Amino acid sequence: MSKEVREQQPQLLWKHFADLNAVPRPSKKEERVRAFMVAFGKSHDLEVIEDAIGNVIIRKPATSGMEDRESIIMQSHLDMVHQKNNDTDFDFLTQGIDMFVQGDIIKARGTTLGADNGIGVAAIMAVLSSTDIAHPAIEALFTVDEETGMTGAKELDKTILTSKILLNLDTEEDDEIDIGCAGGVDVTATKTYPLEAVDGNYISKKITVKGLNGGHSGMDIIKGLGNANKMITRLVDAMQKRGAVHFQSLNGGSLRNAIPREAVAVVSLRKSDWEQMRNTFNRCKDAIQDEYAALEEHLSIAIEAIENAEVLTESDSRELVYCLLGIHNGVYRMSPEIDGLVETSNNLARVTLENGELQIACLTRSSVKSSKTDLSSSIVAVMKLAQMDAKLSGDYPGWQPNANSTMLDIIKAKYTELFDHEPRVVACHAGLECGLLGERYPGLDMISFGPNIRRAHSPDEYVEITSVQKFWKLLLEVLKEIPKA
């Protein structure tokens, strides 16, 4: 399945990417990919260490003539976001990613590709396995569980690493040099509702929202893409304005860091209200499709009959709708200092209601700690007004930009020399591990860069081949320019 991928240039990088993508590597279940990395390091007679949390560190000495340079950390994360289309038969726990080449891009069939952060991992592997690439002494750091908590970076052993420079290879625009990122916090609400039966005067309907683009809940949040959880809530709210609506179930979204692409709600209503509700539903459906026509060309909204089952009470159903309407979703505040940068946002990522058991999962991001607290507190307040048990967890810091970075000067100059224009120096609205790594090892000079990766965290994810070539060229030249110790 990966032969055509392995034939791309640079072949050494793509070979390692294909090997990596043959190994299942879901967040929190990285045992196989950790073993894969350990075996890789040992097969090249390199020093390999695993710390207590599961991060893999591989050390390689400097090449001839580079022994007097500062040693560096090259860092990427091993896990990947697992998303697939509903009609795709695929088991992320047992199968390798099924990739194909389409012109200048590489994609996966019906699933996420894992270019985030597999390209970064493969690039580091290519340097470690090479015999002709000039580089200083390297501490390659492969972290675990970046996508669902950053626990690898949070729990990284504070005594293992010795270098003062860190190259993070986990960004997704090849003309950007990242020097800062947002922090984040998980917001979760739970509640158990009593259920009641409905009589023969009621009918049940299944509402389905699907076909949305989805994407990265940090990098793509500025695009104003549709959120399936928000859309389905609007539809149910419109219906309940015409009569009693009782929730049977609700299932929307998946991971906190992925914008929800699909949602399904099952509701019960009086037969006598159906005609009015159907007309209201269709008007709301048309309004949503008109609003998102330019962004979500594959959006599909449907309603169909389904069997009755036990339901929430009318008042509990109404309260749940009000809560979901009240939870902010999308951009909350733009940065007043950096043009075009989202400062604070929230993703209403996952909503599940089954047999009366509710869970709501959000991810709030911000580059400003106080703003992150402000937004997450307001979301918790809405949840508590709905009598839910709400809590915050997984808080991680942002990465404060360092305009005086030596590595920033080096990479800017080298980029300009290679590509005849200056790179954009930015902070990104995503949770790079640099903030946590900087806490574990204060004083690190950190830079992040990478190739063009599009639609990350969705089954439409792809990476541009020529962009990977550009990224690889820059990386090799930067390795030559690491300053003397």
Q: What is the DSSP string of 62-119?
A: PPTT-TTBPPEEEEEE--B---B-TT----TTT----EEEETTEEEESSB---HHHHH
Distance CA 21, CA 115 (A): 9
**Residue corresponding to tokens 């990242």:** 178
Which tokens sit at 450? 């990478």
- What sign does the dihedral 408-414-417-421 (CA atoms) show? negative
The predicted model gives 50-78 an average pLDDT of: 98
| Residue 146 annotated as catalytic | yes
Nearest to 468 by CA among 101, 96, 8: 8
Which tokens sit at 400? 């404060």
Share of the chain above pLDDT 90, in %: 92
The whole-number pLDDT of residue 463 equals: 98
The predicted model gives 382-389 an average pLDDT of: 98
Share of the chain above pLDDT 70, in %: 100
Collapsing DSSP to helix, strand or coil, 300 comes out as: strand
In the predicted structure, residue 1 carries a pLDDT above the cut 70: no
In the predicted structure, residue 15 carries a pLDDT above the cut 80: yes
The predicted model gives 66-91 an average pLDDT of: 95
DSSP at 336: S
The whole-number pLDDT of residue 431 equals: 84
- Mean pLDDT lowest among 63-72, 130-139, 146-155: 146-155
Which tokens sit at 343? 């400062």
Residue 87's pLDDT band (cuts 50, 70, 90): confident
The whole-number pLDDT of residue 402 equals: 85
DSSP bridge pairs for 332 = none
Q: How many CB atoms are located within 10 Å of the residue 274 CB? A: 18
In the predicted structure, residue 86 carries a pLDDT above the cut 90: no
Which tokens sit at 178? 């990242």
SS (HEC) of 308-327: CCCECCHHHHHHHHHHHHHC
pLDDT top residue among 252 and 85: 252
Catalytic annotation, pick one of 30, 146, 147, 273: 146
Catalytic annotation, pick one of 30, 51, 79, 174: 79
In the predicted structure, residue 116 carries a pLDDT above the cut 60: yes
The whole-number pLDDT of residue 415 equals: 98
| Residue 175 annotated as catalytic | no
pLDDT digits (tens, 9 = 90+) for 312-367: 999 999 999 999 999 999 999 999 888 888 999 999 999 999 999 999 999 999 99
pTM for the structure as a whole: 0.79
In the predicted structure, residue 451 carries a pLDDT above the cut 70: yes
Collapsing DSSP to helix, strand or coil, 209 comes out as: strand
In the predicted structure, residue 403 carries a pLDDT above the cut 80: no
Strands 72-77 and 138-143 turn out to be: parallel
Q: Are 66 and 111 in contact (CB under 8 A)?
A: no
